[in-house]
Amino acid sequence: MRIGIIGGGIIGLSSAYYLNKAGHEVTIIDKGDLLDGCSHGNAGMIVPSHIIPLAAPGMIAKGIRWMFNSTSPFYVKPRLNADLLKWGYQFYKHANERHVQAAIPALKELSFYSKAQYQQLVKELPFDFGYAESGLLMLYQTAETEHEEAETAAIANAHGVKAEMLSAAEVQKLEPDVKVSVRGGVYFPGDAHLTPQNLMSQLIPYLKSKGVTILSNAEVQDFDLTNGKINSITTSLGELKLDEVVLATGSWSGALATKLKLNLPMQAGKGYSFLLKDVDKNVRIPSIFLEARVAITPMGSDLRFGGTMEITGVDHSISMNRVKGIVDSIPRYYPEMKVAMPAIENVWHGLRPCSPDGLPYIGRSQKIKNLIFATGHAMMGLSLGPGTGRIMADLVSGRAPEIKLDLFSPERYT
């Protein structure tokens, strides 16, 4: 069949990989050049440990507290915007224990499934993208955070995700090359990481070599919708007739869904990162500074720092105050690591697609028979990419996916 994938991030490319492998004629349509975007400059973490959704008890109180600090890790730009108000109301409705308990098994199943696909891709793809199963360290400095993380570790272990509470000395033992200043940490040995820019930059030409067509700088302008079916897509480069359409446009998915008269609540959560090149004494295990909400990932001899969540709409401006918050946190946890403020041109930013309940939109539309959604993965896009892509191939090919999609229904807000 002729499959059109709108969006060329990791979700779109993963979908193209598995659909092409299944024998379909695949075209990726992207409004950019595929050389940047959320899938390139992220922290590169594959995190089956992240089984608790963003919409969880306590997040609203934390968010309100952080909002008034210009260097804090979380910020919602106040604005009179109907979509933001509706999104915020749904987030508030879902930030409860019942939602968390329902979401954990679904997120865990999808995360483990996607990690298994990565393990297979390492064997299948003819290039190296730095995949390593080194685990993840969640580092904390306060008694309050220690208490929260002990609860999180207990939840993880109860659901079959191994988590180990470590003392400061045990954390330091895992990081012999870098002095670590913490009260303690939680180690998730089942997590992994990779170098996202290496994966993306090599996967694109690989897909082309396999016959996948990539239309870059092609903006979707309209859909020809007749009798509950998309017959063609009008882009800035012309019209495309397709049998099936996969919507994988990240933070832009809500706006595109509106063109199809569908309600897909979505807000862009901006994050920043920068890369330290050729670090002399590098970190061995990807880590998260819990109080600062900063992610640190070794990528070969380089080291990436990333963080912040700004709900500001589709906005590409860079707040150097937010970047300063990341930089200022580094010597608090790694006291011997001296990191200067990066120049603005060396700061990467990406817009993460955030659903109000913290769960992605994955599955076939019930209203448009040849439309499938693969979006809303927030900070987990890279982690969940191959699993989501494999599901797309199953749905298009008429096979039942290997995991349950009920909670990921793309039309759960209609």
Q: What is the mean pLDDT of residues 78-90?
A: 87
The mean pLDDT of the chain is 94
Whether the predicted pLDDT of 54 surpasses 90: no
Q: What is the pLDDT of residue 266?
A: 96
Q: What is the pLDDT of residue 229?
A: 97
Whether the predicted pLDDT of 79 surpasses 90: no
Q: What is the pLDDT of residue 3?
A: 98
In degrees and rounded to multiples of 5, residue 390 shows phi and psi of: -65, -35
Give the predicted TM-score (pTM) of the model: 0.95
Q: What is the pLDDT of residue 300?
A: 94
The pLDDT-based confidence of 366 (bands split at 50, 70, 90) is very high
Whether the predicted pLDDT of 55 surpasses 90: no
Give CA separation, 406 vs 53, 155, 267, 284, 388, in Å: 16, 22, 22, 38, 14
pLDDT (tens digit, 9 = 90+) per residue, 228-237?
A: 999 999 999 9
Q: Residues 120, 125, 126, CA angle at the centre, nearest 5°?
A: 140
Whether the predicted pLDDT of 66 surpasses 80: no
Domains and CATH numbers, the chain: 2-408 (3.50.50.60)
Q: What is the mean pLDDT of residues 284-301?
A: 97
The pLDDT-based confidence of 221 (bands split at 50, 70, 90) is very high
Whether the predicted pLDDT of 64 surpasses 90: no
Alpha-helical (H) ranges within 24-96 are 59-67, 82-94
Residue with tokens 């229904």: 409
The pLDDT-based confidence of 81 (bands split at 50, 70, 90) is confident
Neighbours of 211 (CB within 10 A): 9
